[in-house]
Structure 1
Amino acid sequence: MTVKLVVVGGGSSYTPEIIEGIIRRHDSFPVTDIVLVDIEAGKEKLEIIGNLAQRMIEKSNKPINLSWTLDRREALKQADFVSTQIRVGGLAARSKDERIPLSHGFIGQETNGAGGIFKAFRTIPVLLDLAKDVHEICPNAWIINFTNPAGIVTEALLKHSPHKKVIGVCNIPYNMRHSTAEILDADPNDVLIEFIGMNHFVFGKKVYVNGIDRTKEVLEKLSGDLDYSPANIVNLGWSKTFIEATGLLPNPYHQYYFQTKEVLEKDVKAFKENGTRAEVVQNLETSLFNIYSNPSLYEKPKELEERGGAFYSDVACSLMDSIYNNKQDVQTVNTINNGAIPDLPEDAVIEVNCMITNNGPKPISVGALPHTVKGHIYQMKAFEELVIRASISGDYNDAYTAMVMNPLLANEKGSKVVLDELLEAHKSYLPQFKSRGN
């Protein structure tokens, strides 16, 4: 029996992690074939990653056939799992997503605010095309989407593509669980956080360690100066008042929404001193690919952990392993609500704990939205729907509405200025937008 994994965006600097994750789980998840796929612009990086991945597999002595190609449709034949980790326009596009909003006094960030909106505008049509190919060529394959903004992209695919076997993953719940374990001096495997909300706007409702509720203890400790963020987000800490009033475990991205002024000041300072985060990552990527090119390297280098999305292989690979083996364990993924949060639409994509089966994720009911954040989550979900609508319609007014309704913009004149500049900056990646407005 064969198990085939296709990694779309195979030339990504993250790929060594997914290779490592497959190798480590091979006894339970016996992948026989891995195909790395990229586009012409990523050919050189794909070659470097392919050779490193081949060395990793050879060292492991696992019977895995590896290949890499620019022919996506050929790669998809007989695939069982399709992992997506693409960045339309590359880091140069990300830099524009960050620079342009910052130049007008708004937060510039790759998955939140104006930057996140435009990343979705560029990405959703591309992944809808991929999903169409998957449905035609390998209709039984699961798409495991790690491409950001993960929740928005996953909802777009589930609602607007013919392929319904789509699951979104993110490393933030993983980071929150591990950070919480560190706070409590516990084994991460013993920690269970009851998540409620959506991707990059999810809260921890309850924290359990070996079934014992330790939520109060975590919240008390969190209101100090603890570092509770991944590598790409500088921690600003949380006030005791905020933690006590909400009674919830925030995720690191909540800083953008509840500490907007402070984050903007920090980002402007960092921008002036070191450039955008994208430019910092470009330098890191150059260094990483130099390391990857070393023919004596046979493992994922420690330096990869400096990337903000590090450790996602433990999320993506654990998910595929559980689907393959029908483990029925609990993992946090982005999937259709189906009543798990009764306040939100049945077909909305949420980030929630699920039982993972060979038929996919089964959301675990988490109850009503906490009254302290209900309004914020309603607004964010409505905003996500506007982004999806604009991504597909290419209508200028739809795009403007998505911008002005985002809490990090929320300015009718400023939203238009930023929208127009970003439309012009990214026009080669936005063929659906024929009109540029008035």
Structure 2
Amino acid sequence: MKLAVVGGGSTYTPELIDGFARLRDTLPIEELVLVDPAADRLELVGGLARRIFAKQGHPGIITTTSDLDAGVANADAVLLQLRVGGQAARQQDETWPLECGCVGQETTGAGGLAKAMRTVPIVLDIAERVRRSNPNAWIIDFTNPVGIVTRALLQAGHKAVGLCNVAIGFQRTFAKLLDVAPAEVHLDHVGLNHLSWELGVRLGGPEGENLLPRLLAQHGDAMADDLRLPRAVLDRLGVVPSYYLRYFYAHDEVVRELGSKPSRAAEVAAMERELLAMYGDPALDEKPALLAKRGGAFYSEAAVDLAASLLGDGGSPIQVVNTYNNGTLPFLADDAVIEVQARVDKTGATPLAVPELDPLYAGLIAHVSAYEDLALEAALRGGRDRVFKALLAHPLVGQFEYAEALTDKLIAHNREHFAWA
């Protein structure tokens, strides 16, 4: 089995490698190729990756290349974890929206649209080159914004599934609180990527008793602290929102916070410099503790589980993924991409049935999904008017004056990435 990781020079990659090494019985990789245009980073990450495999006794071969076509040739699956424009572009995405009083964040709001527009054309080009080499290869997308990028891939006819680590993070949290193995925890996870709620927590499968009310009663304060939302919000909702819902539920508070401290991009850039220096140490043969602060917790375990199910029989039969709606949420189009529990096997991902949603959740899902329609149009076809319409449609923008100003700023800060600008 051959896997390729596009964006293999990312500081995330040792987390992925550690998972591949630990879970080799679930996903028996024979060849792993790390692909990245940044040869200097690739050398550091690739060296550590080989040392991790060697320490854990993994027999697979790890190679590195900056040649995309050579790297993905004949791969059974390709994982995408790239960041077009790097941390410098992220820094911009997180700052210029604040000038208009809107959230500056890399996956939602105006910054998220900028990232989608930079990313979609690049990802589609990569996917076409993968298809030329192996039309049966699966593409696993971890590149944000996952929902929009996955929809672009599916619309273009690629065998693609989107992956996010939010759900597996909740699964691990609830498993610890319940003192059970994570595999025993089933989540009623519903929504879009980075716009989701845990409606239930069950043991043993979809038919198990919903333990979420008990968990909220016993651990609501800790959950609220982790989400940085008032405990009363969780009590009144009776569900657990993903931490991205704070951008919606406490927008103005978040804008004030973001404007008063260094950006997350600046923090991550400093962390990456430290991590890369660590990766260059020939004595290091495990992922460093600092990597946990970089983000992407449990990403490797989710990726292994998904790849194992798509390529064989090793993964969990039910996983939270991003895939076509196909009637699951009746208020969305079939070709909308949603993030829900799905049955995953060699044929792909089939969403499980979802109970009728409270309008409180359905309304926001429909609103953001409509924005994603327009965002994908802007990413695929360009043009100032399409950018403006997508911004006007986003519930975190929504005002004509803001949309006009943000459109100009988005284009000005990303002109080098847009052939039409």
Amino acid at match of 2:327: G
Given that residues 9 and 42 in structure 2 are in contact (C-alpha distance below 8 angstroms), is that contact kept between their aligned partners in structure 1? yes
Is 1:236 the counterpart of 2:224? The answer is no
**1:262 match:** 253
1:308, CA displacement in angstroms? Answer: 2.1
Q: Which one of 55, 58, 65 corresponds to residue 59 of structure 1?
A: 55
Query: What are structure 2's unaligned runs of at least 5 residues?
Result: none
Quote how far apart the aligned CAs of 1:248 are. 2.4
What CA deviation, in whole Å up to 9, does each residue of 1:150-173 have, x standing for no partner? 1111011111x232x100000111
TM-score (norm 2): 0.95
C-alpha distance in 2 between matches for 1:338 and 1:325? 24
Residue in 2 aligned with 1:410?
Answer: 398
Select the residue among 190, 209, 212 that pairs with 2:209: 212
Specify the alignment match of 1:286 in structure 2.
273
> Which residue number corresponds to residue 182 of structure 2?
188
Measured in 1, the distance between the counterparts of 2:77 and 2:298 equals 19
1:6 maps to 2:4: yes
Paired with 2:276 and 2:130, the residues of 1 have a C-alpha distance of 30
Q: Which moved more, 1:59-68 or 1:379-388?
A: 59-68
Q: Contact (CA 8 Å) 1:223, 1:238: kept in 2 or not?
A: no
Do residues 300 (structure 1) and 297 (structure 2) align? no
Residue of structure 1 equivalent to 2:346 = 358
Instruction: Name the residue aligned to 1:251.
Output: 242
The question of whether the paired residues in 2 share the 8 Å contact of 1:132 and 1:162 is answered with no
Q: Letter of the aligned partner of 2:303 in structure 1?
A: A
**8 A contact 1:338–1:346 mirrored in 2:** yes
**Residues 64-75 of structure 1 mapped to structure 2, 5 A cutoff:** 64-75=60-71
Q: Does the Cα contact within 8 Å between 2:224 and 2:230 map onto a contact in 1?
A: no
* Counterpart AA for 2:223: L
Q: 1:81 deviation in Å?
A: 0.7
Query: Is the 1:131–1:162 Cα contact (8 Å) retained in structure 2?
Result: no
Residue in 2 aligned with 1:166? 160
Q: Percent of aligned pairs with the same residue?
A: 37
* Secondary structure, counterpart of 1:29 in structure 2: coil
After TM superposition, the structure 1 stretch with the greater mean CA deviation from structure 2, 211-220 or 108-117, is 211-220
1:222 Cα offset (Å):
5.8
Alignment-mate amino acid for residue 76 of structure 2: D
| Alignment CA distance shift 1:28-1:317 (3 Å) | closer
Q: What count of residue pairs does the alignment treat as equivalent?
A: 417
| 2:197 aligned residue (182, 198, 203) | 203
> Does the 8 Å contact 1:59/1:298 carry over to 2?
yes
- The question of 1:428 aligning with 2:416 is answered yes
TM-score scaled by structure 1? 0.91
Post-superposition offset of 1:184: 4.1
In the alignment, which residue of structure 2 is the partner of 1:100? 96
1:428 Cα deviation from its structure 2 partner: 0.9
Deviations 1:39-64 (A, max 9, x none): 1xx21111100111111122233221
Query: Which stretch of the first structure deviates more once superposed, 220-229 or 5-14?
Result: 220-229
Whether 1:26 aligns to 2:24 is: yes
With 369-378 and 179-188 compared, the bigger mean Cα shift is at: 179-188
Residue 170 of structure 2 corresponds to which residue in structure 1? 176
* Partners of 1:339 and 1:365 within 8 A in 2: no
SS in 2 for 1:224: helix
Residues 224 and 237 in structure 1, CA contact (< 8 A), matched pair in contact too? no
Instruction: Please state whether the residue corresponding to 1:205 is helix, strand or coil.
Output: strand
- Structure 1 position 313 matched with structure 2 position 300: yes
Distance 1:226 1:346 in 2: 34
Residue aligned with 2:221, SS: coil
Contact 2:77 2:139 in 1 (8 A): yes
Work out the CA distance in 1 between the residues paired with 2:175 and 2:392: 38
CA contact 1:104–1:414 (8 Å) conserved in 2: yes
Match of 2:152 in 1: 156
